[in-house]
Amino acid sequence: MNDRRTNSVRTTGLIAALALSGAVLTACGGGANVTEPTPLTELNAPAYRMNTVWKTDAGEGAGEYVSGFDPAIKNDRVYVANSDGYVVALDLASGDRIWRSRTGDRLISGPTVSGGLLLMGTRDGEIVALSASTGEREWTAELSSEIIAAPAANGELAVARTLDGRLVALDLATGNRRWTIERSVPTLTLRGTSSPVIDGNTVYAGLDNGKVLALDVNTGEERWSQAIAFPSGRSELERIVDIDADPLVMDNELYAVSAGGQLASLAITSGRVRWKHEIASERALGHDQRNIYAADRDSDVSAVNRLTGSETWKQEGLKYRELTGPALYEGDLVVGDYEGYVHWLSADDGSVIARGHVFDEPIRSQPIVTGNHVIVLGAYGEIAALRFTPSGDR
């Protein structure tokens, strides 16, 4: 195993960038680790066994850098992009490579799969579109700055958010620009952005100023804007309120979480705040019909009632292990951590009920559940399909 994988830096601090001036305050993806991660204890009677269906190396990944790389799944294929400019298509059932495309671009986010295309963002402010069938380039669109979050797409339009505060809609077939809007960016922000979310005729975006924005997807016209977190504190660092996790749309509600310490439920038609709960997070949210699940910046995992905003339970036994956002699988939760472990948590009370070691590298992106498989991606490009089977009387 390459030393850069086994000796990867553990970080729990903020990744800050002076977005307007271009000065960046980073340290291989994060700040100094001031607290040791919680050591793992043996599970005496795990409720599930983790089985690796397949595991393969899909490329270089992102390494120590913050990225918007997540696997995309469509038509029994898994697509993965890498910072070295390669994109690969794998067979979902076997993990066998179907094709590999060298773009020559400095990719940093994606892929998003829509309309037969794969969309990736680059560090040079471009959207690259490849054929999902063959990996051949279809078009490239130049935007204003780095696109560190995967674009959203609905089969007709692609909407991308740039690091300098712009939202841009592109024709999915040609890459031609349809509309652009711009919002100011605070002086100090985290290095990261949330992806836009398209739901029907509306696109929702979480911003670095702690606001959620709703726009007409066809025209870019603003429908509403709502702040879920407000800057507070004396220093610029204390005043960070970025929304770096993708907004989550369920039924008639939108859920968004800020690094500034607020998880909020909003009405999708008006942006009216239904409730708020104190959680500071930059990680993707999980959900079922009962709760919203969030891993905060200390890697405590909370279940918050969807209707009331009250906390159902909180799991603090994985503190500082740099957990991913939680994903629902077979009625319970799965999260990855900085050592390449996948942990299974009970959705009823948050207890750790199973665990498995997948990689000798961090898992930073939220696990993806497809059918009875969990797809997990390592920071250096290893990817695996997992299944969990009940053990004992479970």
Q: What is the pLDDT of residues 219-244, one digit of tens each?
A: 999 999 999 998 887 777 778 889 99
For residues 2-18, average pLDDT: 39
Q: What is the pLDDT of residues 110-139, one digit of tens each?
A: 999 999 999 999 999 999 999 999 999 999
Is the pLDDT assigned to residue 185 strictly greater than 60?
yes
For residues 352-373, average pLDDT: 96
For residues 298-308, average pLDDT: 97
Question: Which pLDDT score is estimated for 234?
Answer: 76
DSSP per-residue codes, 138-170: EEEEE-SS---SPPEE-SSEEEEE-TTSEEEEE
CA distance 304 to 113: 31
Question: Which pLDDT score is estimated for 212?
Answer: 97
What is the overall mean pLDDT for the chain?
90
Q: Residue 120 — φ and ψ, nearest 5°?
A: -125, 145
Is the pLDDT assigned to residue 173 strictly greater than 90?
yes
Burial of 346 per CB tally in 10 Å (0-12, 13-18, 19+)? middle
- Asked if omega into 151 is within 30° of 0 (cis), the reply is no
Is the pLDDT assigned to residue 22 strictly greater than 50?
no
287: tokens are 């959900």
Residue whose C-alpha is closest to residue 81's, from 108, 104, 63, 57: 108
Geometric angle at alpha carbon 56, from 75 and 377, rounded to 5°: 75
Residue 6's pLDDT band (cuts 50, 70, 90): very low
CA distance 165 to 20: 10
Q: What percent of the chain has pLDDT over 70?
A: 91
Residue whose C-alpha is closest to residue 265's, from 202, 309, 205: 309
